[in-house]
Structure 1
Amino acid sequence: MKQDNLSRYFELIRDIDRVLSRKRNIKACGVDGCLRNYLISHILKERERVSVIICPDEKKCKSVYLDCTFFLSEQKEDIQYPERRVFRFPQYDISPFRGLSPRRDIVKERLESLFMLSSGGNSVIITSLEALIFKILPKDEFLKSVDILEPQEELDLDSLRERLFTLGYRPVSMVEERGDYALRGYVLDIFPPLYSLPIRIEFWGERIESIRQFNPFNQRSVRSLDEIILIPFSEVIWRKENIQRARERGRLPETVTQVPGFPGQEAWINHFYRELNTLFDYFPEESLIILLDGENIEEKAIRMIEKAESEIERYALEAEKREQYFPDTEGIILDMAYLREEIGKFKKIQFVELPFEKRGDEDEVLELFLEDYSYDRLILELESKKRLSLAPLIGQIRYWIKAGSRVVVVCSSDSQIERTREIFENYGVRVWDIKGCWGDIPLQRGLYLCRGDVSGSLYLPQIELFLIDEDSIY
């Protein structure tokens, strides 16, 4: 099915679930980068079930996450659960097989994604092949570790402290970072995943009296909460039975003198659980998978599996030379046959770069060859040898507005918005409005400035939309 009109494409994606009810798979070719991410965001906007975007690598995962949070208006500083929909499940930024643990923000993102997958709803999880090929903690173990705290609930504070320790939270004198907690008398400060600010729980004896979020810099309350969802801050849950199982298997690092937690503990995950799960085990049955670079995904997955196996072998040899224990890694990496089987269980949309032949009735083929003027960077004419001129861009913007189009310039900060506004005013071009997120941009023609970050620019005359990222100007 060839579509060369973008408006017809939008008609299709508004009813994507109906299309997918007739065909399990849709293949789309001819779009990439920011334009593809813009179209994906339209697919996801009205979807009421879980969607998982699988990217070929971590770099693309980051750009897709950036664009989806922008086009779904989730780049607000205070957005949090349950309003937030878009999450990222990244690979570790450093291999735990080197005896080092990942950054706390990476841990937070992974555990948030596991919770949202387990909860169903309409969440969007963006991940990469690198993250997908490793097994993770069992779903039932994770769900057993989730708590809901509400006002008027009664809790034993000593038991609560022990539970926070078990879930991987770090005791501190003052809560500033995610994963911190401080219990002073009858006040618990904690900064769990899912929330944009830390939370203060005040007790009257053992009864929760109030739950409020607060600003960690001035300690002032920001808002009251009816409840909080408390999820683990570690993929190793330090229950007594898990610790006993790990000790029985032996070979734990000699540096482990107390629990919970030690550097590189994520590499020892096989020791703490009877069996591990995969990310697919967390997917609800009606999940939609969106595959990017679909025609090359198997080839890339095989290369990543081989690379991961090679790295583990190298780290094991290094540990042997240092006469140090190394974790049991048997079965921790998935094979291609399993990946292929699991992906095949779900409805999916594949984005590919080049046209392909339709094979039987397997796929609904959607070819998108859109007229656009996309550049990685706008080519500006030189005003002199030392200075770039914005005059060609300004002239083009005037033409687009006169023709009835929306022109949106995306700026990463308030200072950049003010700087950009002054530039346009100096050229005699009026900025019609300034908005804090994409969803607030009016549909009427005009020039708008929008706070946010995107991976590139969009030039779509078919729907009278021209979006310019600040890197195309500065």
Structure 2
Amino acid sequence: MFELVSEYKAAGDQPQAIRELVHGLHEGRRYQTLLGVTGSGKTFTLANVLARVNRPALVLSHNKTLAAQLYSEFKSFLPNNAVEYFISYYDYYLPESYIPQTDTYIAKDASINENIERLRLSATASLLERRDVMAVASVSCIYGLTAREDYEEMCIPLNVGMTLDRDDLLRKLVEVQFERNDTAPERGQFRVRGDCVEIYLAQKEEYVRVEFWGDSVDSISRCELLTGRVKSRPDHVMIFPARHFVMPQERINAAMDGILAEMRTQVRMFESQGKLVEAQRLYQRVNYDVEMMREIGYCAGIENYSRHLGGRAPGSRPFCLLDFFPKDYIMIIDESHVTIPQLQAMYKADRNRKQTLVDHGFRLPSALDNRPLKFEEFQSLLGDVIFVSATPGKYELELSEGQVVEQVVRPTGLLDPPVEVRKLEGQVDDVIEEIRKCTESGGRSLVATLTKKSAERLSDYLCELGLRVKYLHSEIDVIERVRILSELKRGDFDCIVGINLLREGIDLPEIKLVAILDADKEGFLRSSRSLIQVAGRAARNAEGKVILYGDVVTDSMKSLIDTTEERRKRQAEYNEKHHITPRTIIKAERETITDVMGLSSGTESPSKVTYSNREFEEEAAAFAVKEERAAYGSVKKRTKKGKVARADSKNLEGLDFEEIIAELEREMLEAADNLEFERAAQLRDRIRSMTDQTGG
């Protein structure tokens, strides 16, 4: 049972929204849309809905930053339930690829964030054990996992009094990817001390002590990881596999026959086409992988054989997190106007890279079935769906068939920020004056430009005038982006200049001013939906305002102005009726993605080098997850003016060792981000060579 814990009561449009959504779910409406404005408490509304319908839920977010924010908020509202977090667990990820033009093969290179892996394992464990589960996930949830049935089969149930030989338990633990470590065991390992086996759980920060008396289990204890204090002595415990990709040995043995048969067919095809190099390459690769699976039950890149291991038919969809949910689960798609298009595009992007590997004998054709879900397959796995957006798209509105629940009136009494239109001439001078006024009153500012170059130039100019400014653009990593926003919230600087990064889900009540330059240039960045989203960033402050700079009032600008006026009128009527004075609500800082990933300020960076706060931001960014493009992100070095410096790797004179390594890492990440995998691999090898020589 979901249990809502909050000092607040539903107010504004929340009570009606909760009633309508719950009614729709009870009436069997498969698709509903919650049209909720910024600051209206959509998360609180959804938590109330779940508490009333008591059904498992998956909240899908289009990026990890918002997923972390949602995870933190839902945990605060549902502290006694299983609120889980499921995003890509790669700190960095260089995909396997082949460049035919230069005959260059680049092996997969990745680093897994153990904290994120633990949270992912916790999510699947909760889904197998209980129903009061809400999982907040990014789009990585549509990538392949072991089938739920196989995963359940590999779980190890332990009961006090059961007959079980100690050595049999040890063998079972090894089969599910646990490792023995009798000295200093960590997560996913176990220690043996006589008749006592200590199992360090993969999905929790605790270990299970199992004591034997002869061939039976005498006692089971759950212990704190740090202190060893016994938390409880249950009669039953379930040990879940230490990895998601596990398979019974019998299934592996059966799959190997299918893998070898497919290999022989593909080799004959290559030989008939005169492609002897490809034939020999595939023959050696597959035979080596099969031998590894036979000997140790695992091989590098085993996920490429997932179709055979899972017993799936050619072309069939992979199993994924959605398969772990019961049929009556609720899918909540946050910022659906962005998330839906992202889901629709993921399959083709993955397919193109793997097809090259197959064509040149690096992978079997069945590797193409190790992929994200196609959008049609994703749709087939949906339960009841609630789309959530301030600006829902055509797709959501059509499916909802009129079941659009509005949440426009805010419990806080805050009105949508008033919108002013000013002329283009002198827009920069005018925005400088407005930023200064905003700063003097203790507020923060957001300035939206049309291009990255103009954002960079403007931020440089503002810095030269003595304003404390930073800018955001598409190449700034998600971790650094979160840190920049946190600094803005703390008042370390006063203004952010950006392009289209100032939109969905930025929860900063300190923002008093949103200035949109060149607002009359119709296009994606100045569409009605984009303008409404950007303007919404000032909606959490009672003194917030929006300035549009343009010589012509476009249809998109008019839509924003009309929508704002209509919402302000509704909110003002509500405030007058309930005697509410609008006030800015400054929330306590919640967990961000950097906290969840274990990259909080003041901790050691992954390379174990001590850094200042700003340098740590860059190091944290270098180890961020890159699931949207399945490649490295970019790490940039900032100048005193806040400008990104693009240094050539040859120009390293005068830098110390750590700075050289940081610069090479930056270029490596940038090359991978541009899909220049050959250059990225060369830089990676150079970094490894240098660190090996110095004992790093």
Is 1:228 aligned to 2:237, yes or no? yes
Please state how far the C-alpha of 1:191 moved relative to its aligned partner.
1.7
User: Gaps (5+ residues) in structure 1?
Assistant: 74-82, 389-419, 421-453
> How far does the alpha carbon of each residue in 1:1-48 deviate from its partner, in whole angstroms, 9 at most, with x for none?
xxxx93452355268543312233221123358943333333334442
Q: Does the 8 Å CA contact 2:196/2:212 hold for their aligned counterparts?
A: yes
Please give the secondary structure, in 1, of the residue aligned with 2:76: helix
Q: TM-score, normalised by structure 2?
A: 0.48
Give the alignment of 1:186-197 within 5 angstroms: 186-197=195-206
> How far does the alpha carbon of each residue in 1:171-220 deviate from its partner, in whole angstroms, 9 at most, with x for none?
11245432111122211111224533111111111221221122344444
Please state how far the C-alpha of 1:327 moved relative to its aligned partner.
8.3
Which of 269, 285, 297 is 2:339 aligned to? 297
Q: Does the 8 Å CA contact 1:252/1:325 hold for their aligned counterparts?
A: no
Aligned to 1:6: 11
Aligned to 1:210: 219
1-structure distance, mates of 2:162, 2:583: 54
Give the alignment of 1:362-401 within 5 angstroms: 362-371=401-410, 373=414, 381=441
Higher RCO structure, 1 or 2 (CA under 8 Å, sep 6+): 1
- Between 101-110 and 229-238, report the one with greater CA deviation: 101-110
Aligned to 1:26: 32
Q: Does the 8 Å CA contact 2:14/2:41 hold for their aligned counterparts?
A: no
Aligned to 2:61: 55
Please state how far the C-alpha of 1:165 moved relative to its aligned partner.
0.9
Q: Does the 8 Å CA contact 1:54/1:292 hold for their aligned counterparts?
A: yes
Aligned to 2:588: 469
1-structure distance, mates of 2:118, 2:296: 20
Is 1:116 aligned to 2:126, yes or no? yes
Please state how far the C-alpha of 1:141 moved relative to its aligned partner.
0.9
1-structure distance, mates of 2:440, 2:53: 40
- Sequence identity percentage: 17
Please state how far the C-alpha of 1:298 moved relative to its aligned partner.
3.2
Q: Does the 8 Å CA contact 2:162/2:217 hold for their aligned counterparts?
A: yes
Q: Which protein is richer in helix relative to its size?
A: 2
Q: Does the 8 Å CA contact 1:211/1:225 hold for their aligned counterparts?
A: yes
Which of 254, 276, 283 is 2:325 aligned to? 283
Q: Does the 8 Å CA contact 1:146/1:229 hold for their aligned counterparts?
A: yes
Aligned to 2:194: 185
1-structure distance, mates of 2:66, 2:357: 27
1-structure distance, mates of 2:358, 2:181: 34
Q: Does the 8 Å CA contact 2:36/2:407 hold for their aligned counterparts?
A: yes
- The 3 A distance-change label for structure 1 pair 116 and 222 is closer
Aligned to 1:331: 369
Give the alignment of 1:51-90 within 5 angstroms: 51-73=57-79, 84-90=81-87
Q: Does the 8 Å CA contact 1:101/1:265 hold for their aligned counterparts?
A: no
Aligned to 1:259: 296
- The 3 A distance-change label for structure 1 pair 216 and 127 is closer
- Between 186-195 and 461-470, report the one with greater CA deviation: 461-470
1-structure distance, mates of 2:301, 2:109: 4
2-structure distance, mates of 1:91, 1:312: 19
> How far does the alpha carbon of each residue in 1:353-380 deviate from its partner, in whole angstroms, 9 at most, with x for none?
22678659724211122345599xx967
Q: Does the 8 Å CA contact 2:205/2:225 hold for their aligned counterparts?
A: no
Please give the secondary structure, in 2, of the residue aligned with 1:198: strand
Please state how far the C-alpha of 1:245 moved relative to its aligned partner.
3.2
1-structure distance, mates of 2:48, 2:138: 21
1-structure distance, mates of 2:213, 2:581: 62
Please give the secondary structure, in 2, of the residue aligned with 1:277: coil
Aligned to 1:427: none
- The 3 A distance-change label for structure 1 pair 330 and 324 is closer
Please state how far the C-alpha of 1:224 moved relative to its aligned partner.
2.3
- The 3 A distance-change label for structure 1 pair 463 and 197 is farther
> How far does the alpha carbon of each residue in 1:214-267 deviate from its partner, in whole angstroms, 9 at most, with x for none?
234444434323321211122332422133134331416559484244554444
Q: Letter of the 2:409 partner, please give it.
A: L
Which of 261, 269, 279 is 2:306 aligned to? 269
- The 3 A distance-change label for structure 1 pair 209 and 366 is same
Give the alignment of 1:342-357 within 5 angstroms: 342-343=381-382, 346-354=383-391
2-structure distance, mates of 1:288, 1:367: 19
Q: Does the 8 Å CA contact 1:56/1:292 hold for their aligned counterparts?
A: yes
Aligned to 1:125: 135
- The 3 A distance-change label for structure 1 pair 37 and 264 is farther
1-structure distance, mates of 2:157, 2:582: 45
Please state how far the C-alpha of 1:337 moved relative to its aligned partner.
1.9
Please state how far the C-alpha of 1:284 moved relative to its aligned partner.
1.2
- Count of aligned residue pairs for this structure pair: 385
Aligned to 1:447: none
Is 1:166 aligned to 2:203, yes or no? no
Q: Letter of the 2:70 partner, please give it.
A: V
Please give the secondary structure, in 2, of the residue aligned with 1:305: helix
Please give the secondary structure, in 2, of the residue aligned with 1:329: helix
- The 3 A distance-change label for structure 1 pair 160 and 363 is farther
2-structure distance, mates of 1:455, 1:159: 52
- The 3 A distance-change label for structure 1 pair 17 and 146 is farther
Which of 297, 300, 307 is 2:349 aligned to? 307
Q: Letter of the 1:370 partner, please give it.
A: V
Q: Does the 8 Å CA contact 1:50/1:124 hold for their aligned counterparts?
A: yes
Q: Does the 8 Å CA contact 2:188/2:201 hold for their aligned counterparts?
A: yes
Q: Does the 8 Å CA contact 1:61/1:127 hold for their aligned counterparts?
A: yes
Give the structure with higher Rg (CA).
2
Q: Does the 8 Å CA contact 2:67/2:138 hold for their aligned counterparts?
A: yes
> How far does the alpha carbon of each residue in 1:282-311 deviate from its partner, in whole angstroms, 9 at most, with x for none?
321211111112234332112222332244
Please state how far the C-alpha of 1:136 moved relative to its aligned partner.
2.2
Query: How big is the alpha-carbon RMSD for the aligned residues of Structure 1 and Structure 2?
Result: 4.0
Q: Does the 8 Å CA contact 1:25/1:363 hold for their aligned counterparts?
A: no
Q: Letter of the 1:336 partner, please give it.
A: F
> How far does the alpha carbon of each residue in 1:76-102 deviate from its partner, in whole angstroms, 9 at most, with x for none?
xxxxxxx54111222341557515473
- Between 293-302 and 249-258, report the one with greater CA deviation: 249-258
- The 3 A distance-change label for structure 1 pair 20 and 220 is closer
